[in-house]
Amino acid sequence: MNAHDGQTGSASPGALAPTFIEFENASITYGRGERAVQALAPTSLKVSEGDFVALVGPSGCGKSTILKMVGELLKPSSGHVFVSGREIGAKAIRIGMAYQNPTLLPWLNIRDNVMLPLKIVPPFRQEFRSKRKGEFRDRVDALLTQVGLAGFGEKYPFQLSGGMMQRANLCRALVHDPDLLLLDEPFGALDQFTREELWAIMQDLWLSKKLTVLLVTHDLREAAYLANRICVMSSRPGRILDDQIVDLKRPRNIDMTFQPDFVALNQRLRAMIVGARGGTGIVNHAPGTA
């Protein structure tokens, strides 16, 4: 159905690692009949285990839709989505998710907020009562320390700044050792400096835990800083236009984002998205798009 399918499907880097997520002509259509809107055109995509993939594109292009399908929050209208090699629902893998809105529970302190997944996800769930004051508490505190929130476990969310809440949100998404982390613009609402700080933290977490990450973002620098691979999407109905491999060495730092190769990559991505917004695939020089 789509000329890009084959191309995007095979562009996966690190071909040695087994495929972890696979989209097979998966599409999403909202509504029925004449009012049906295709949010995501049939899309094929492969993500290797342990990879870090960013999805970028204009607003409303179906980036979050892809994330939701992987997280089993949406079923494809057609085609298939396989996670961990099987059809969704077949095997339980652990997933962590973080949105731009930190959605911490205001009646729990930070430690209990971060601990929430342990209360729900097996096998932690069965041991929650016996370990919540011991092993689990240490586990949460270690994670909080890793993101620079040591000593904030007793604080309540409203006593924290936006950046700190987002760190706690990341901890909550990671505390149950997920195989897969889904991030939907997690740093979008933060100021530039806090955001850059969190990129470094996110990179460290990924390097230390070796989990698969899918990141939806509007920020091209963020995508290039964090990801191994960047998928550029077209405007609605969303398609994957291009699949860029980011072969910058790790660990990356902010200085690297001002180097010529990084800037060049950013400009390429930007040109593609500007084109996608126009829907022509050609860079649009009309005023107001800058």
Partner 1 sequence: MERVVEVIREKGASTALIIGFFVFWELFCLMANISDILLPRPTQIIAALIKFWPAIWPHTYQTLYTTLVGFSIGVVIGLLLGILIGSSKLAYDTAYPLLVGFSSIPKVAVVPIFVLWYGAGTVPAILTAMIICIFPIVVNVATGIATVEPELEDVMKTLKASKLDILWNVSLPRSMPYFFAALKVAITLAFVGSVVAETVASNRGIGNMMMIASSSFNVPLVFAGLFVLAGLGVALYVLFSLIEYRVTGWAHRKTDLAAT
Euclidean distance between CA atoms 62 and 193, whole angstroms: 28
Instruction: Rank residues 51 and 112 by Cβ distance to partner 1 and give the closer one.
Output: 112
Q: Does 156 bind partner 1 (CB under 8 A)?
A: yes
Kindly list the distances between the CA atom of residue 272 and the CA atoms of 84, 214, 235, 246, in Å, as whole numbers in the listed order. 31, 20, 11, 16
What's the CA gap between 22 and 41, in Å, rounded?
15
CB of 275 to partner 1, least distance (A): 31
Phi/psi for 69 (5° steps) reads -65, -40
* Least distance to partner 1, CB of residue 185, Å: 11
Q: Is 62 in the site for partner 1 (CB under 8 A)?
A: no
Q: Is 251 exposed, middle or buried (0-12, 13-18, 19+ CB in 10 A)?
A: exposed
**Closest distance to partner 1 from the beta carbon of 120 (Å):** 5
- Using CB under 8 A, which of 16, 129, 158, 210 touches partner 1? 158
Rounded Cα distance, 208 and 223, in Å:
19
Q: Give min distance, CB of 183 to partner 1, in A.
A: 12
Contact string 73-112 vs partner 1 (x = CB under 8 A): x------------------x--xxxxx-x-x-xxx-----
Site membership for partner 1, residue 176 (CB under 8 A): yes
Site string for partner 1, 116-135 (x = CB under 8 A): xx-xxx--------------
Distance CA 290, CA 288 (A): 5
Q: Which is nearer to partner 1, 122 or 134 (CB)?
A: 122
Q: Kindly state the tokens that stand for 96.
A: 């962590």
Nearest to 73 by CA among 35, 109, 99: 99
Instruction: Select the residue interacting with partner 1 from 28, 54, 114, 173 (CB under 8 A).
Output: 173
The HSE-up count of residue 37 (CA atoms within 13 Å, CB side) is 8
Write down the residue that tokens 């907020």 correspond to: 113
Closer by beta carbon to partner 1, 95 or else 272? 95
Return the range that interacts with partner 1 (CB under 8 A); candidates 29-37, 76-84, 169-177, 243-251: 169-177
When asked if residue 282 is in the footprint of partner 1 (CB under 8 A), the reply is no
Contact call for residue 211 and partner 1 (CB under 8 A): no
The answer to whether residues 270 and 220 touch, using CB atoms and an 8 Å cutoff, is yes
Cβ neighbors of 125 (< 8 A, separation 6 or more) are 118, 119
In angstroms, what CA-CA distances link 67 with 95, 170, 227?
A: 11, 16, 15
Q: Which stretch binds partner 1 (CB under 8 A): 27-35, 64-72, 197-205, 281-289?
A: 64-72
Closer by beta carbon to partner 1, 105 or else 282: 105
Cα–Cα distance measured from residue 250 to residue 227, given in angstroms and rounded to the nearest whole number: 10
Please state, in angstroms and rounded to a whole number, the distance separating the CA atoms of residues 67 and 230.
14
Quick one: which of 10, 130, 159, 267 contacts partner 1 (CB under 8 A)? 159
Number of residues binding to partner 1, judged by CB under 8 A: 27
CB of 70 or CB of 223, closer to partner 1: 70
Binding site for partner 1 (CB under 8 A): 68, 71-73, 92, 95-99, 101, 103, 105-107, 116-117, 119-121, 156, 158-159, 172-173, 176, 182
